[in-house]
Amino acid sequence: MPLHINTPLIESRPLSIAAHCTVNLKLDALQPCGSFKLRGVGHACEIHRANGAQRFISSSGGNAGLAVAYAGRKMGVPVVVVVPETTTERAKELLALEGAEVIVHGSSWQEANQLAQGLIKGSDAFIHPFDDPLLWTGHASLIDEVAASGQKPDAVVLSVGGGGLLCGVVEGLQRNGWHDVPVIAVETQGAASFHAATLVGKPVQLDQITSIATSLGAKRVCDQAVNYLASHSIHSELVSDQQALDACERFLFDHRILVEPACGAALAVVYKGAALKSFSNVLVVVCGGATASLEQIRLWAQKTANNP
Ligand SMILES: *Cc1c(COP(=O)(O)O)cnc(C)c1O
């Protein structure tokens, strides 16, 4: 039994009307730890466990760390998550709720990650948040489930942070014979490391992340995400923080599900509609995210409205 669940695939009337085409939602916000990350992280943890891992180590204060904490608790394997001081109280609380040991270290992810790397001993497994083929193979199960439903989309819309979800979805499309289904890869301005890579054909290191969509905040995407540009049709789209936040509020109203701005980014492209005008049947990966509250989303929206 895998750790992730087979999530609902539902038609959305409000998004279909907004985008002038049929929009189906893959509701990975409903995974037990709140995001799609459990697909790949669960798969990686199972393989490491089978190979004798006694402890899982993560340096993500976001949904990847939460997925590792969830997987460890379910498998009876201790988990250590090292997070920087900038991690929200809410994220630390969620990690503690899963029984993970949380170590707060350093002012940036780089510093937290350095400490995490130093903790790794012989029987430990480090679980990367996006750059690992085991993760992509696990994420690909999302497309297997859509294929099993018999509904072939003519495009897939998803968010891109470090590119793990993108790699998993492309792997899933290709292993189901859906090589002809393009992917619309969405980022917020200020976290657009994949967009920067598409312009030059190789990964680019951003100086800084300025978007509030912290789950998209990888300064550099994984090489495989860029390699796929050669073998798959992938269109890069950008939205503003404001548009991502508006999409979160609108999606909460339309479907009664609260998602992070990282997921709101993909939804914003659907609500805007323009980028989808050549398609008739679009699949949207509702990737979810457990770390945002409605209060936080409204605070961000106020701030971005004051400093557009
Ligand atoms: C991790 C995450 C993303 C981005 O996924 P990558 O694999 O890093 O590209 C998007 N949305 C949410 C909610 C996430 O947790």
Q: Does residue 46 carry a pLDDT above 70? A: yes
Range of lowest pLDDT (69-73, 105-109, 125-129, 141-145): 105-109
Q: Report the nearest-CA residue for atom 1 of ligand 1.
A: 215
pLDDT of amino acid 110? 85
What number is the average pLDDT over the span 66-73? Answer: 98
For ligand 1, the distance from its centroid to the CA atom of residue 142, given in whole angstroms, is 14
List pLDDT tens digits, range 244-259: 999 999 999 999 999 9
Residue ranges matching CATH 3.40.50.1100 in the chain: 9-36+134-306, 38-129
Atom of ligand 1 nearest to the CA of 34: 13
For ligand 1, the distance from its centroid to the CA atom of residue 77, given in whole angstroms, is 24
CATH topology of domain 38-129: Rossmann fold (3.40.50)
pLDDT of amino acid 61? 86
Give which of 277, 250, 276 is closest to 264, Cα–Cα: 250
Question: Residue 303: enclosing H or E segment and its boundaries?
Answer: helix 294-306
Question: Residue 268: enclosing H or E segment and its boundaries?
Answer: helix 261-272
**Pocket of ligand 1, candidates 132, 158, 187, 216: which has the most ligand atoms within 8 Å of its Cβ, to mutate?**
216
Atom of ligand 1 nearest to the CA of 216: 4
| Confidence grade of residue 170 (pLDDT, cut at 50, 70, 90) | very high
Give which of 201, 113, 210, 213 is closest to 161, Cα–Cα: 213
Strand order in the sheet with 234-239: 9-11, 22-27, 281-286, 155-159, 183-188, 234-239
Q: Are the C-beta atoms of residues 58 and 81 closer than 8 Å to each other?
A: yes
For ligand 1, the distance from its centroid to the CA atom of residue 207, given in whole angstroms, is 20
Give which of 290, 263, 287, 288 is closest to 95, Cα–Cα: 290
| Confidence grade of residue 86 (pLDDT, cut at 50, 70, 90) | confident
The gap from C-alpha 241 to its chain's centroid, in whole angstroms, comes to: 16
What number is the average pLDDT over the span 268-274? Answer: 96
pLDDT of amino acid 305? 85
Q: What are phi and psi of 297, to 5 degrees?
A: -60, -40
Ligand 1, CB cutoff 6 Å, lining residues: 35, 37, 62-63, 130, 159-166, 215-216, 218, 260, 262-263, 287-289
What number is the average pLDDT over the span 11-39? Answer: 98
CA dihedral angle for residue 137, residue 141, residue 147, residue 152, rounded to 10 degrees: -80
* Backbone CA torsion sign across 225, 229, 232, 237: positive
CATH class of the structural domain 9-36+134-306: alpha beta
Mean pLDDT, the chain, rounded, equals 96
Confidence (pTM): 0.97
